[in-house]
Amino acid sequence: MSSTRQDQEQALALAGVFQAAALVHQLANKGMVGQDSFETSIASILVTDPENTLAVYGGSAHGLNLGIRTLRGFVNKDNDTSTHVLRYAMSILYLEKRLRKDNQMLNAIGQRLEQVKMQSHHFSNTHENVIASIAGLYQDTISTFSFRIQVQGEPNILRQNSNAEKVRALLFAGIRSAILWHQLGGRRWKLLLGRKKILRALDEATRL
């Protein structure tokens, strides 16, 4: 893979992380999210053997529009970029690092995901039963780490079980993208030192 193409694929995967974070923030505060973005993020969890990075997100960058805008805002240091979204994104990257070092948990997740994929064939990727299974998988694995992501929002919204399950599923989607980002050579220091490179890669990736 050429360095330019690798930069583009890194940018897309990182946009996947920021999209999940942005969706968590939207859901926690409004109780609703954009369906296209939500479906793209959830479906990415179930793509475990992709041909390329775009295949993880439905074959085009369209479903990542929210993540691309959010990541671009972070890189440009826009004042309207929510601090909560940035905290969720950075926390997702941290949890991915913890998960990457736990082979037993990774194997357990891989086995459970195969079951969830079979379930999605009977329903749909975003059916409430599939969301509940992904949320349960998150609780049984990622949530057992001492570090947990504290989601802030409207208490009445977060108390609803269906919303809580969607939040967990979206955090799982963020970690899936974080794993992909790392596999493609993404590193946290690049977020600080390679801002122009990320912007250029985003612009190029959206033309794919």
Q: Which domain holds residue 142?
A: 3-205
Tell me the pTM. 0.96
CATH of the domain at 197: 1.10.3890.10
Question: Residues 10-68: pLDDT tens digits?
Answer: 999 999 999 999 999 999 999 999 999 999 999 999 999 999 999 999 999 999 999 99
When divided into structural domains, the chain yields a total of 1
Is the model's pLDDT at 208 over the cut of 70? no
Is the model's pLDDT at 2 over the cut of 70? no
Give the distance, in angstroms, between the CA of residue 108 and the centroid of all CA atoms in the same chain. Answer: 19
Which residues lie closer than 8 Å to 86 by C-beta, 6 or more apart? 21, 74
> What does the pLDDT read at residue 174?
98
> What does the pLDDT read at residue 78?
85
Question: Residues 70-97: pLDDT tens digits?
Answer: 999 999 988 777 899 999 999 999 999 9
Q: What percent of the chain has pLDDT over 70?
A: 98
Query: Residue 100 to residues 10, 136, 180, 196: CA-CA distances in angstroms?
Result: 17, 20, 11, 28
